[in-house]
C-alpha cells in the first residue's frame, strides 16, 4: 500500500506516488494534474471541490471558499450557506478528493500521506495541516517543507560535491525562499524566509487595478460575482503573457463588455512594487545563511507563478544566471513529497538521503533584565532556539529566581523576532514551584525541543527538586485535541460529498451555469437550450446517451468560448 505525497497548495493541490521509474503525478477525475484548492457547498448541501467548485466560485461565490490555506492554524470560520468550516476542514475535503482519485488510479486503498507545507509555516499551521490530513482519513506522520521537497524532486541531491541551492517558490498566495546545502549525502536547509501574503494572485490584483483605472470603475461598487468575474478575466490575461507580449483583458460587468489591451512592458512596470517585494526574503535568507550571490550553484523556480515571464526575467537579473529547468514548477513539490514518502517507506528503489531542516522563527521566553539603576525590568525576550537553527534542535537555558522566597516561576513560551516579549506571539505557559530560598539560589532549566515536523516541546525542571513539567504546545490557535479530531471527522463524514463518477457531468452543468450568467440575448438562450437537452439526457439515466449528450455539450462550449475571443 503506497504512501502518497501531497502538495496541499493555496491555489492548487496535487498528489504523487513513487514508482520504480521515479515519482509520478496522480491524475484527478478529469485526467488533470492540478486540483484547484476550492470548496463549494451545493443547494442540497453536497460538497464540491476542485474544478467544479472553481466554476461555482463565479456563479455562487457566497457558497464557495478559496485561498483558505492562508488562514491555516487560525480559528477563522468560513460560512458557506448554513454550514461553517475551519481552514483545516476545508483542506480536508481537498485531501479527501486527492485520496479518492489516488485510490481509483492505483486500485488500492490509501491510508497514509506525506503532506507538504510552506517552510515558513508556524507550529500551529503545521499542526492544522496534519489535522486536515487526519480529517480526510489519512495517517500523517510526516510534514515536509515545500522547498525541500522541490529540491529533492529536481534531483539536486544527485549532484557531486558540495553545493548550495536557492529555491524560489512563488505559488498562488505564498512565497518561500530557501537556501539548501548539499554535502556528503546530507541535504541541509540552511535558511528559510518568506512572505505568506505574496504570490501569483498579487499579479492578478495588479491587472484588476489597471483595468478598473482604465475604465474608471470603483472597486467598492462591485458585487461578489463581478469581483469574481474580474478575477477570472485577470487570471486569463495573465496566463496569456506566457505566450504573447500583447494581451487583451476582457470582462463583462452588468451586460457591458469592457476590454483593456496591455503590453508586457506596461504590465511589468505596474508590477514593480510586487516584484520589489520578492527581493526582501531573498536577501534575508542569504544573509541568515551567510551565503553570497556568487556562492549559489543553482536557482530553482517552483510554483506556477514562476512561469510568468516577468518573474523569470526578474530572477535572471537578480542572480545573473538562468534558473534550473526540467521539471514543471507546478509539480515539483508533489513529486518531492512522493520521494519523501518512498524514503519513509524505505522503498528499495531509492537511495537513502539524510534531510535536515531549520526552525523558521525564533522560539524563546520572557525574562527580567538587571538595569543600570540596580532594578529588574521585566518583559525582555530571551531567544532559546534562534531562527534558522538546524532541527531537530534541543536547547536549555537556566533561569534564576528574582525574589527572596519565590515559590513559583512562570515560563512564557514565545515565538518571534522582537526584542520586547509582548511583541512576540504567545504560544503557552508553564508554571512550576520550588522551595523558598534567597533570590538567585533557586533555578529552573527550560528546555525547548523542536522536532523534525516543526513541533515544539517545552520542559521546565526545578533544579533543586527535580520537579519537571512538560507541554507540547496545545494552546495554539487552531490546534485541536485527538478527541476533537475524531468528533469532527465523524461530523464531516456525515456530509454528502459529490460522487466522483459524476464529476464530469456536474462540471459541465456548473460551467453551463456560468456561461449562461456571463452572456445575454440569443447566445444565452442557446446555452439554456443546450443545458436543457443535457438535463433531459441525465434524467434518462442511460449512460451511453448521457455520454453522447456530454460530448455535444462540450463541443457547444468550445463554440461559445471561441465566440468570446
User: Which residue numbers are catalytic?
Assistant: 7, 69, 146, 169
Q: How far is the CB of 92 from ligand ADP (least distance, A)?
A: 16
Collect contacts of 374-378 with beta carbons under 8 A, ≥24 apart.
Answer: 376/402
**Which of ligand ADP, Mg ion, none does 416 bind, CB closer than 5 to 8 A by kind?**
none
Q: How far is the CB of 87 from Mg ion (least distance, A)?
A: 16
Closer Cβ to ligand ADP, 88 or 442, answer by number: 88
Q: How far is the CB of 277 from ligand ADP (least distance, A)?
A: 15
**Which of Mg ion, ligand ADP, none does 434 bind, CB closer than 5 to 8 A by kind?**
none
- Let me know: does 461 contact 467? Beta carbons within 8 Å: yes
- Let me know: does 354 contact 185? Beta carbons within 8 Å: yes
Separation CA 206–CA 229 (nearest Å) = 15
Rule CB under 5 A: say whether 416 interacts with Mg ion. no
Q: For cell 528499495, what's the residue?
A: 348
Closer Cβ to Mg ion, 42 or 171, answer by number: 171
Span from 6-14, 57-65, 286-294, 458-466 in contact with Mg ion (CB under 5 A): 6-14
Cell numbers representing residue 203 in the block: 499579479
Closer Cβ to ligand ADP, 42 or 118, answer by number: 118
Q: Which residues of 167-179 are buried (b: 16+ CB within 10 A; e: fewer)?
A: bbbbbbbbbbbbb
Rule CB under 5 A: say whether 336 interacts with Mg ion. no
Q: Which residues pair with 366 in a beta bridge?
A: 381
DSSP string, 490-518: HHHHTSPBPPGGGHHHHHHHHHHHHHHHH
The residues of the shown chain that bind ligand ADP, judged by CB under 6 A, are 9-12, 171-174, 199-201, 235, 238-239, 242, 303-305, 307-308, 330
**Using CB under 5 A, which residues numbered 121 to 180 contact Mg ion?**
171
Q: How far is the CB of 10 from ligand ADP (least distance, A)?
A: 4
DSSP string, 278-291: HHHHHHHHHHHTT-
- Let me know: does 260 contact 248? Beta carbons within 8 Å: yes
Q: How far is the CB of 323 from ligand ADP (least distance, A)?
A: 15
Q: Which residues of 269-280 are buried (b: 16+ CB within 10 A; e: fewer)?
A: ebbeebbeebee
Rule CB under 5 A: say whether 118 interacts with Mg ion. no
In the set 9, 42, 454, 512, which binds Mg ion (CB under 5 A)?
A: 9
Closest listed residue to residue 203, CA positions, set 129, 284, 281, 307? 307
Cell numbers representing residue 162 in the block: 558540495
Separation CA 188–CA 390 (nearest Å) = 8
Q: Which residues pair with 167 in a beta bridge?
A: 178, 300
**Which of ligand ADP, Mg ion, none does 238 bind, CB closer than 5 to 8 A by kind?**
ligand ADP
Closer Cβ to ligand ADP, 201 or 442, answer by number: 201
Q: How far is the CB of 129 from ligand ADP (least distance, A)?
A: 13
Closer Cβ to Mg ion, 54 or 384, answer by number: 54
Rule CB under 5 A: say whether 50 interacts with Mg ion. no
Residue 143 contacts by C-beta under 8 Å, 6 or more apart in sequence?
114, 115, 116, 117, 126, 129, 130, 453, 454
Q: How far is the CB of 203 from ligand ADP (least distance, A)?
A: 7
**Crossing angle, helix 521-540 and helix 503-518, to 10 degrees?**
160
Closer Cβ to ligand ADP, 42 or 173, answer by number: 173
DSSP summary character for residue 451: -
**Which of ligand ADP, Mg ion, none does 36 bind, CB closer than 5 to 8 A by kind?**
none
Which residue minimizes CB distance to Mg ion?
Answer: 171
Cell numbers representing residue 541 in the block: 439515466
**Which of ligand ADP, Mg ion, none does 262 bind, CB closer than 5 to 8 A by kind?**
none
**Which of ligand ADP, Mg ion, none does 511 bind, CB closer than 5 to 8 A by kind?**
none
Closer Cβ to ligand ADP, 76 or 232, answer by number: 232
Cell numbers representing residue 423 in the block: 511583541
Q: How far is the CB of 334 from Mg ion (least distance, A)?
A: 9
Closer Cβ to ligand ADP, 305 or 342, answer by number: 305
C-alpha distance across the termini of the chain, in Å: 47
Q: Is 490 left (phi over 0), alpha (psi -120 to 50) or beta?
A: alpha
**Using CB under 5 A, which residues numbered 294 to 313 contact Mg ion?**
303
**Which of ligand ADP, Mg ion, none does 118 bind, CB closer than 5 to 8 A by kind?**
none
**Which of ligand ADP, Mg ion, none does 281 bind, CB closer than 5 to 8 A by kind?**
none
By the criterion CB under 5 A, which residues form the site for Mg ion? 9, 171, 303
Amino acid at each position: 500500500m503506497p504512501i502518497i505525497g501531497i502538495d496541499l497548495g493555496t491555489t492548487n493541490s496535487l498528489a504523487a506516488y513513487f514508482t520504480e521509474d521515479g515519482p509520478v503525478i496522480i491524475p484527478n477525475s478529469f485526467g488533470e494534474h492540478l486540483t484547484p484548492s476550492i470548496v463549494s457547498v451545493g443547494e442540497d448541501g453536497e460538497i464540491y471541490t476542485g474544478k467544479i467548485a472553481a466554476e461555482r466560485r463565479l456563479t455562487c461565490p457566497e457558497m464557495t471558499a478559496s485561498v483558505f490555506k492562508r488562514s491555516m492554524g487560525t480559528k477563522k470560520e468560513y460560512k458557506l450557506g448554513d454550514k461553517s468550516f475551519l481552514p483545516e476542514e476545508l483542506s480536508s475535503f481537498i485531501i479527501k478528493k486527492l485520496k479518492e482519485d489516488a485510490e481509483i488510479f492505483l486500485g488500492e486503498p490509501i491510508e497514509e500521506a506525506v503532506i507538504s507545507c510552506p517552510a515558513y509555516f508556524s507550529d500551529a499551521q503545521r499542526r492544522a495541516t496534519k489535522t486536515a490530513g487526519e480529517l480526510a482519513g489519512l495517517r500523517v506522520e510526516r510534514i515536509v517543507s515545500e522547498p525541500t521537497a522541490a529540491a529533492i524532486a529536481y534531483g539536486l541531491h544527485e549532484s557531486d560535491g558540495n553545493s548550495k541551492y536557492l529555491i524560489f517558490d512563488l505559488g498562488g498566495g505564498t512565497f518561500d525562499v530557501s537556501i539548501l546545502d548539499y554535502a556528503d549525502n546530507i541535504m541541509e536547509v540552511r535558511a528559510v524566509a518568506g512572505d505568506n501574503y505574496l504570490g501569483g494572485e498579487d499579479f492578478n490584483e495588479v491587472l484588476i487595478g489597471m483595468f478598473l483605472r482604465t475604465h474608471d470603475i470603483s472597486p467598492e461598487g462591485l458585487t461578489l460575482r463581478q469581483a469574481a468575474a474580474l478575477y477570472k478575466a485577470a487570471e486569463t490575461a495573465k496566463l496569456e503573457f506566457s505566450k504573447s507580449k500583447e494581451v487583451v483583458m476582457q470582462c463583462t460587468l452588468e451586460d457591458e463588455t469592457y476590454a483593456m489591451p496591455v503590453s508586457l512592458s506596461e504590465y511589468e512596470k505596474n508590477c514593480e512594487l510586487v516584484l520589489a517585494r520578492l527581493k526582501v526574503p531573498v536577501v534575508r535568507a542569504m544573509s541568515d545563511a551567510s551565503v553570497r550571490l556568487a556562492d549559489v550553484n543553482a536557482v530553482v523556480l517552483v510554483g506556477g507563478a514562476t512561469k510568468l515571464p516577468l518573474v523569470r526575467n526578474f530572477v535572471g537579473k537578480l542572480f545573473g544566471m538562468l534558473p534550473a529547468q526540467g521539471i514543471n514548477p507546478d509539480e515539483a513539490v508533489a513529486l518531492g513529497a512522493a520521494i519523501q514518502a518512498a524514503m519513509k517507506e524505505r522503498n528499495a528503489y531509492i537511495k537513502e538521503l539524510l534531510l535536515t531542516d531549520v526552525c523558521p522563527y525564533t522560539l524563546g521566553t520572557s525574562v527580567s533584565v538587571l538595569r543600570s539603576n540596580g532594578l529588574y525590568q521585566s518583559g525582555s525576550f530571551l531567544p532559546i532556539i534562534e531562527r534558522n537553527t538546524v532541527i531537530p534542535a534541543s536547547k536549555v537555558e537556566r533561569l534564576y529566581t528574582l525574589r527572596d522566597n519565590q515559590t513559583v516561576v512562570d515560563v512564557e513560551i514565545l515565538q518571534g523576532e522582537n526584542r520586547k516579549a509582548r511583541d512576540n506571539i504567545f504560544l503557552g505557559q508553564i508554571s512550576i514551584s520550588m522551595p523558598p530560598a534567597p533570590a538567585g539560589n533557586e533555578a529552573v532549566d527550560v528546555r525547548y525541543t523542536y522536532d523534525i515536523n516543526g513541533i515544539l516541546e517545552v520542559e521546565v525542571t526545578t533544579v533543586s527538586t527535580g520537579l519537571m513539567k512538560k507541554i507540547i504546545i496545545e494552546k495554539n490557535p487552531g490546534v485541536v485535541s485527538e478527541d476533537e479530531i475524531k468528533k469532527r471527522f465523524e461530523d464531516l463524514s456525515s456530509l454528502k460529498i459529490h460522487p466522483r463518477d459524476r464529476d464530469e457531468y456536474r462540471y459541465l452543468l456548473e460551467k453551463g451555469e456560468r456561461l449562461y450568467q456571463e452572456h445575454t440575448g440569443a447566445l444565452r438562450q442557446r446555452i439554456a437550450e443546450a443545458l436543457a437537452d443535457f438535463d433531459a439526457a441525465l434524467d434518462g439515466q442511460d449512460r451511453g446517451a448521457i455520454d453522447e449528450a456530454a460530448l455535444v455539450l462540450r463541443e457547444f462550449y468550445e463554440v461559445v468560448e471561441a465566440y468570446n475571443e
